[in-house]
Amino acid sequence: METTNKTAKEIYFDVKNNPARKRFGFGNKAVLVNVDPQKAYTATDEFTTAYETDPRQMEYTNELAKKFRALGWPVVWTHVAYMESGEDAGVWATRTNTPDSLQNIKFESRRSEFDDRLEIDRINDVIYTKKMPSAFFETQLQSLLVWHQVDTVIVTGGSTSGCIRATAVDSLSRGYRTIVPEECVADKHESYHYANLTDLSLKYADVLDVEEVFNWLDAQTK
């Protein structure tokens, strides 16, 4: 095993700035999957479970969604919410039971609500309630992607080390080119965030500056 005295952030930027770094690249048509941008994870002034990496994350996410809608491409939002009993969280809910615990994000609670800064089209966008880390797990996402004949999945949201990673791995495993706009994902601690961006970059996805994603979308024709 290789050892180092570098931080996770330093290692990530070494990978990012490597001119020989290979990419999967964009395909022909994409879906935007916004993973759990809900108050439990975004309202840093209200919930201890919330986090912020880039203060413009919601702004960038809204801009991506606008560009997707302009192309007639699908925009998906996911959030987690659970029954009063918490039984639908399964074994994931067995480690702790505090007000901040996952299974205590209840239906219709503030913690389950999407961030107020988001511009969600509740008629034309797709909204899924998920129970586990991946946006693909026991949702209709795979069927939606087949219907729209997409070959590229662009993932935003949080956390980088949890639901973003799980969604990206499932996306690649299903044969999709997977793109993670760096400014559009966040985590509780920079160590987890950058370590997982490194792992995603090396194995499962292209981690790109959001401006590059904007430019690709702008170059597409409806």
pLDDT tens column, 67-89: 999 999 999 999 999 999 999 99
Four-residue CA torsion sign, 202, 53, 76, 96: positive
How much of the chain exceeds pLDDT 90, in percent?
97
Q: How far does Cα 116 stand from its chain's mean position?
A: 17
For 151-178, the pLDDT digits (tens) are: 999 999 999 999 999 999 999 999 999 9
Average pLDDT over residues 208-222: 94
- Indicate if the pLDDT at residue 214 is higher than 90: yes
Domain ranges of the chain: 26-218
pLDDT confidence of 222, banded at 50, 70, 90?
A: low
**Full-prediction pTM beyond 0.85?**
yes
For 91-104, the pLDDT digits (tens) are: 999 999 999 999 99
The rounded mean pLDDT for the chain is: 97
Length of the chain: 222
Q: Which of 163, 164, 169, 217 is an active site residue?
A: 163
Tell me how far apart the alpha carbons of residues 62 and 58 are, in angstroms, rounded to a whole number. 6
Average pLDDT over residues 105-127: 98
Least reliable range by pLDDT among 13-22, 143-152, 178-187, 206-215: 13-22
Cis, peptide link before residue 85, omega less than 30° from 0: no
Tell me how far apart the alpha carbons of residues 173 and 170 are, in angstroms, rounded to a whole number. 5
* pLDDT computed for residue 221 by the predictor: 78
Sequence-ordered list of residues with C-beta below 8 angstroms from that of 178, at least 6 positions apart, any chain: 24, 152, 153, 154, 155, 168, 171, 172, 204, 205, 206
For 30-56, the pLDDT digits (tens) are: 999 999 999 999 999 999 999 999 999
* pLDDT computed for residue 11 by the predictor: 96
In CATH, the number for domain 26-218 is 3.40.50.850
Tell me how far apart the alpha carbons of residues 158 and 37 are, in angstroms, rounded to a whole number. 7
Whether 26 contacts 176, CB under 8 Å? no
Active site residue 163: yes
